[in-house]
Structure formats: C-alpha cells, structure tokens
Amino acid sequence: MPPLDSIVAVALAGLALSAVPGPSMLYVLSRSVGQSRSAGLASALGLCLGGTLLAIATAMGLATIFANSGWLVVGLRYVGSGYLIWLGIGMIRSARSNAEKTLEVGQVVQRPLRVIVWQGVLVELLNPKTVLFFALFLPPFITAGGAAPASVHTQLLVLGVLVPLTAIPSDLIVAYMGGSMTKVINREKAARERLAWFGGLILIAIALNLHLELL
C-alpha cells in the first residue's frame, strides 16, 4: 500500500483539479442540462469508469517500466513534480480569464443511458491529455527505493484509481444540480477565480513538498 501521506496528497490534488470547471465537468453538465439529471449521472459514471480503466492500464505499464529500469523512478519523480507545478501555474495564470467566461450549455442529442455511459468511458480513454496526466502524475508519489515490484505495482494501482474517485463528488453535484449549477458558476465569478488560485497553489505546494518534505 502507498504511504498515507501519498494517499492524502493524491486525494488533495485530485479534488483541486476536479473542483475547477474543465472539459469533464462541462461534459456532465451538458448532459444534465441538455437531456436529464439521469443522463448527467450516467455521463459521470462513464467518466469515472474510463478514468479507472486508464489508471489501471497506466499503473500496469509504469510498474513494468519501473521493474526494468529502476533509474527512471528518480527522473520521473522530478518530471512529475515539475508537471504538477506547471499545472498549478497554468491554473493561476488562467484564473481571471476563465472566471470571466460565461458558461453556455446547448442542447445535446438524446441518447439512451447505457450509450451515454460508454460515451463517457470513451471520452476518458481516448483523451491523450488524460493519458499524459496519469503517466506524469503518479510517479512522484511512489516509494520505490528498495520496494518489491509487487509493492510498486500496488502503489500505482491504488493511487491511480484514487484520482477518478476524487472527481465523483464534483461530477455528482454538477449532474444533480444541472441548470442551477450553470447559474451559480456564471454568477460567482470571483469565487471561481479564488478557487482556481487555491487549486493551483495546492498543486504547487504538493509538488514542492515531495522534495522539501515540509509536511
């Protein structure tokens, strides 16, 4: 199992990323507003399943790489923490401009719920940015020094699956509230900007703590 501090850090990072409006949240919102609350919940389920499958596949691939090339662990740790800092800075830099945007959700083609679930799965699996995210996000939190390959594999699986699970609360709220959420997001622009700043600072702090061990 991963250390508790790694589990907490990954959970905080996942929550920070999922709380800021992005493509996944907009996808759930469009289904909820454009079709029905059930459709929004189905899309959220599909995204979670897709993210879980991708996390498992990425973890298995990374575990094989770590087993054959242990020296990559150190390199990926620095690359991954740098990626977290880059994500955090990006969230902060775009906080004002994204907060000023008015969210508009149009009508969508009506689909059966089972189709919407599979669409959500495919949206996650076929998103190259999501693949890159898992590949760079997970390694910094792995304790691989002297650990058995099975232990590394377990750590990657647990932390990888934790990422899509942290997105469930925000996706469920968006799916359930639907149009009300759209009005809230458009009205609370200052809160959106502060939330983006907070999320960005959280990611930067987590990345720095990986090396400075302040907490």
- Token pair for 68: 């054959």
Q: How far apart are CA 41 and CA 168, in angstroms?
A: 10
Q: How far apart are CA 14 and CA 167, in angstroms?
A: 7
pTM of the model: 0.78
Q: How far apart are CA 174 and CA 168, in angstroms?
A: 10
Number of H helices, E strands in the chain: 11, 0
| 34-76 pLDDT tens trace | 778 888 889 889 989 988 888 888 877 777 777 666 667 677 7
Whole-number pLDDT of residue 104: 64
All structural domains of the chain with their residue ranges: 4-212
| Of 59 and 197, the one with more pLDDT | 197
| 67-85 pLDDT tens trace | 666 667 677 778 888 888 9
- Token pair for 205: 């702090």
CB contact set of 178 (below 8 Å; sequence gap of 6+): 29, 32, 33, 37, 40
Residue 148 confidence (pLDDT) above 70? no
DSSP-derived 3-state class of residue 139: helix
Q: How far apart are CA 67 and CA 16, in angstroms?
A: 31
